[in-house]
Amino acid sequence: MIILHADTNHPALMRKLEEAGHHNIEGYEQSRADTLQNQHLYDGIVIRSRYKIDREFIDAAPNLKFIARVGAGLESIDVEYAKERGIQLFSAPEGNRNAVGEHSLGMLLSLFNKLNKADKEVREGLWQREENRGVELDGKTVGLIGYGNMGKAFAKKLRGFEVDVIFYDLKEGIADDNARQVGYEEFFEKADVVSLHVPLTEETEHMFNKEFISSFKKPFWFINTARGKSVVTADLVEALKEEKVLGAGLDVLEYEKASFESLFGNKKNVSMSAADPIPEALRELMFMPHTLLSPHVAGWTKESHKGLATVIADKIIADFGEGGEK
């Protein structure tokens, strides 16, 4: 098969496909328009998040047999229309789930022990011990929203702590030795920590809002390594001010571009001058001492770079065999 690679990935991906008899085309510099013009030439496309694969794109690709996204989610693809056209879809949540689990745990421990705040103060010559007294994780109830690859990976990382791990998921009967499944009522009552592990859908977009936050019976800590648009930033900021949310670790932000490569346009650096088009809620969030932010890198480790590529290559080869024989 002729496979277009719209984004750069670990070399293992193209190497494995080439060894299986497929022909790789590097389209890293092609615009979406250029790709559309030549899409009839390709049997498959491998993307990360540079542009959307919508109905227009699919209609321009009569020979397309598969779309592979080197990542966990498929929200940049019109999944239903692709299925109607008989196009196989591949993603690779297995490839970076361990990285996301470790990042989630790291964020939680850093927040509990005020490590980012304390580090900044010591570098500024401040030695404030009482103000940086931490909180221990043992004895807490950690609640996960979503129990797929990422939720399960985080739950596994928590096994070394004396914590009660619970989760809410629409799928029934998916509990394991690392976490127990509960209904929303018990979740809202018991959770000391809330961690999001859901894909971005119509149901999960802006799900973490004022109404959702007010449903909890006690203040809680919040971690989001899933999708930024699941959170209403203004409502989170208000909850942090009111101490309904005690602290937040956010690897993803509501205002990210769809490509996840930047916050605004193609700018890699966002200054904090008043002239910049930064929403007020985000500006406030950035200056809150009990928040921890990272640039969508929870699943972005050296190991997962190769892991994601390997998983995608193996799935394509498993379905289409040597040289495209299905």
Q: What is the CA radius of gyration of the chain?
A: 21
Catalytic: which of 75, 102, 254, 256? 256
pLDDT in tens, 187-234: 999 999 999 999 999 999 999 999 999 999 999 999 999 999 999 999
Alpha-carbon separation of residue 182 from 136, 172, 210, 264 (angstroms): 24, 10, 22, 38
Across the range 12-24, mean pLDDT stands at 97
Q: Above 90 in pLDDT, residue 34?
A: no
Whether 242 is catalytic is no
Write down the H helix ranges in the chain.
Answer: 11-19, 32-38, 55-59, 79-84, 93-112, 115-123, 149-157, 184-190, 210-214, 233-241, 280-286, 302-320
pLDDT at 258 over 60: yes
pLDDT at 272 over 70: no
Alpha carbon distance 242, 266 (integer Å): 34
Reported confidence tier of residue 51, pLDDT bands at 50, 70, 90:
confident
- Candidates 5, 48, 296, 305; catalytic one: 296
pLDDT at residue 179 greater than cutoff 60: yes
Quote the CA–CA distance of 79 and 61 in Å, as a whole number.
Answer: 15
Reported confidence tier of residue 243, pLDDT bands at 50, 70, 90? very high
Q: How far apart are CA 279 and CA 292, in angstroms?
A: 18
State the pLDDT confidence band at 95, using cuts at 50, 70 and 90: very high
pLDDT tens profile 145-158? 999 999 999 999 99
Mean pLDDT of the chain: 93
Q: Render 154-207 in DSSP notation, one character per residue.
A: HHHHGGGSS-EEEEE-SSSS--BTTBEE--HHHHHHH-SEEEE-----TTTTT-
Helix (H, G, I), strand (E, B) or coil at 317: helix
**pLDDT surpassing 80 at residue 271:** no
Please name the residue that has the structure tokens 């959307």.
52
Fold agreement between 2-91+303-324 and 97-295: yes
Please give the CATH topology (third level) of the domain spanning 97-295.
Answer: Rossmann fold (3.40.50)
CA 257 → CA 49, 98, 164, 279, 303, distances in Å?
10, 25, 36, 14, 25
- Which SS3 state, helix, strand or coil, does residue 102 take? helix
Place of tokens 């971005």: 200
**Per-residue pLDDT at 49:** 81
Distance CA 192, CA 144 (A): 11
Judge whether residue 265 has pLDDT over 60.
Answer: no
Using CA atoms, how far apart are residues 103 and 135, in angstroms rounded to an integer? Answer: 19
CA proximity to 47, closest of 296, 302, 258: 258
- Among the options 22, 97, 227, 305, which is catalytic? 227
Spatial separation of the C-alpha atoms in residues 21 and 322, rounded to whole Å: 6
211 in active site: no
CA atoms within 13 A on the CB side of 153: 22
> Whats the size of the chain, residue-wise?
326
Known catalytic residue at 296: yes
Considering the four listed CATH numbers 1.10.3720.10, 3.40.190.10, 2.60.34.10, 3.40.50.720, the one that applies to the domain covering 2-91+303-324 is 3.40.50.720
> For the chain, which residues make up each domain, given as ranges?
2-91+303-324, 97-295
Give percent above pLDDT 70 in the chain. Answer: 93
Q: What is the pLDDT of residues 102-155, one digit of tens each?
A: 999 999 999 999 999 999 999 999 999 999 999 999 999 999 999 999 999 999
Distances (CA, A) of 66 to 49, 69, 86, 167: 16, 10, 9, 33
